[in-house]
Amino acid sequence: MSTLIDEIKDLASRYFETYRSIRHHLHANPELSYKEFNTSAFVCSELDKLGIPYQRMAETGIIAIIEGRPSERVIALRADMDALPIHEENEVPYASTVAGVMHACGHDVHTTCLLGAARILHELRDKWDGRIKLIFQPGEERNPGGASILIREGVLENPRPTHIIGLHVHPLLNTGKVSFAPGKVMASADELFFTIRGKGGHAAKPYLTADTILAASELVVALQQVVSRNNNPFSPSVLSICAIQGGFTTNVIPAEVKLMGTFRAMDENWRKEAHKRIHEIAQGVAISSGASIDVHVDLGYPSVVNDAALTPRVKEHAEAFMGKTSVEEMELSMGAEDFGYYTQIIPGCFFRLGTGNKQLGITSNVHTPTFDVDERSIETGIGIMAYLGAIS
């Protein structure tokens, strides 16, 4: 007599080629954040084929419900759908057909895995209890984050899930493996914008100007104090200035220079304190340089916090499904994910799906133009999401 695990594994294997083709379609036709109109329509068409009811939210978001055996149990499974403004360099038959846009973070895989899991859960709906809410989410890659918009529109209500589970591809983890960890696993992410203004003028007469280039240089260096001299070193945090724009020739001190960067943290109290220090340091540089500095901190995603009670339980289910040797401890990441918004409201578990394969040369990291996955990971992702949906 087959077990639920056996049945799910059999179906995941049987449907692998179908969902690999779906992944190829999604990868070849990427869409940027909040513009996932064709992607959304495609997901709806797949749900229509399965007879799974759904509704639209936030223009391109999709919420579907699968009914199992009568029960009060309600959980949510989430996948994101948007791509990145990166030009793909992979020479594969399913490469992006959209210039300058690419699924370089694996959201095509996430969507594919949830669609595959939905098919299995729908077919086996007499084998599990309650309701499963499927969340196909737009705009993970861009503030304010599609999760925050869906939450505002009521995605976690009617019915309210007891918990939510999501996965993310991880090219540094071998295909056939997954990883979990309780607690804080991904950082908050805020975008930093500085505009430095001063009296420009001839480079030969800097004493008649307020040197915005010098002020910008001092600001870049001074901001490193925020983390190195203000933060507890046992609480991970990063501040990076990633863009400087100003000047147009060799002999003119410009009247304006702009800087952009990112600030990331694991602790919300430190995050707020750091914002204060960023403003203070910028104003100090402004006073010393004779320029003015406008500072804007665009609040981004909160840290992802895996629930301390839920995550070990989900990990045990994963071990039962895949075997203990295929389930690893997930390392902390200073990357950010708007899944953190969900974990602020209900218990959540965000885990990593291994997609790397050194033998096949699949090693490029996410957010690079050569990122790709070992597609056997799709079978793993479909299976584990279906099992966790049925049993967690």
DSSP for 85-118 reads S------STT--SSTT-B--SSHHHHHHHHHHHH
Is the previous residue joined to 144 through a cis bond, with omega within 30 degrees of 0?
A: yes
**pLDDT, position 80:** 98
What DSSP character marks residue 330?
A: P
Q: Are residues 83 and 216 in the same domain?
A: no
Domain harbouring 293, CATH code: 3.30.70.360
> 341 lies in which domain range?
4-187+303-391
CA distances from 22 to 18, 28, 151, 307, 386 (A): 6, 10, 28, 32, 17
Q: Around Cβ 301, how many Cβ atoms within 10 Å?
A: 23
**pLDDT, position 259:** 98
pLDDT under 70: residue ranges of the chain: 1-2
Q: At which of 298, 323, 345 does a domain end?
A: 298
Q: Which among 145, 107, 112 has a CA at the least distance from the CA of 371?
A: 107
Q: At which of 298, 331, 364 does a domain end?
A: 298
Tell me how many domains the chain contains: 2
**What is this structure's pTM?**
0.94
What positions carry a catalytic annotation? 82, 140
Q: What does the radius of gyration of the chain's CA atoms come to, in whole angstroms?
A: 23
What is the per-residue pLDDT across 238-289, written as a single tens digit (0 to 9) for each?
999 999 999 999 999 999 999 999 999 999 999 999 999 999 999 999 999 9
Phi and psi at residue 190, to the nearest 5°: -120, 145
Q: Which among 365, 321, 36, 22 has a CA at the least distance from the CA of 173?
A: 365
**pLDDT, position 1:** 43
For residues 106, 111, 113, 117, the Cα torsion angle rounded to the nearest 10 degrees is 160
Both tokens of residue 150? 């869906």
**pLDDT, position 368:** 98
